[in-house]
Amino acid sequence: MLSALGEGASMQHKPDIAIRSLLGGPPEVVPVPSIAETKGLVTDGAHMRMDPRILTRISDVVSILEQDYTKVLLSHISDMERAYIDGKSGAEDTRAKIYEIAHDIRGVAGTFGRSLSGQIATRICARFDQTPGAIPAIEDHIEALNHVANLSPEPEGAFAELVLKRLDEPSNASQTSTQKSAADEMKEGRHHD
Give the CATH number, domain containing residue 155: 1.20.120
Mean pLDDT of the 15-35 span? 51
pLDDT given at position 6: 47
Mean predicted lDDT score pLDDT of the chain: 74
Helix (H, G, I), strand (E, B) or coil at 58: helix
pLDDT given at position 187: 55
Do 76 and 159 fall within a single domain? Answer: yes
pLDDT given at position 132: 84
User: Residue 36: is its pLDDT beyond 50?
Assistant: no
How many domains does one find in the chain? 2
81 in any annotated domain: yes
Give the closest residue to 37 by CA, choosing from 27, 29, 28, 48: 48
Do 27 and 56 fall within a single domain? Answer: no
Most confident of 60-64, 164-168, 173-177: 164-168
45 in any annotated domain: no
126 in any annotated domain: yes
User: Residue 184: is its pLDDT beyond 50?
Assistant: yes
Question: CB neighbours (10 Å) of residue 94?
Answer: 19
pLDDT given at position 112: 84
pLDDT given at position 193: 44
Do 98 and 150 fall within a single domain? Answer: yes
Do 94 and 16 fall within a single domain? Answer: no
DSSP β-ladder status, 17-20 and 28-31: antiparallel
10 Å CB burial of residue 115 (0-12, 13-18, 19+) is middle
Q: Where are the beta strands (DSSP E) in 64-147?
A: none
pLDDT given at position 28: 54
Do 64 and 134 fall within a single domain? Answer: yes
User: Residue 2: is its pLDDT beyond 50?
Assistant: no
Domain of 28 in residue numbering reads as 2-32
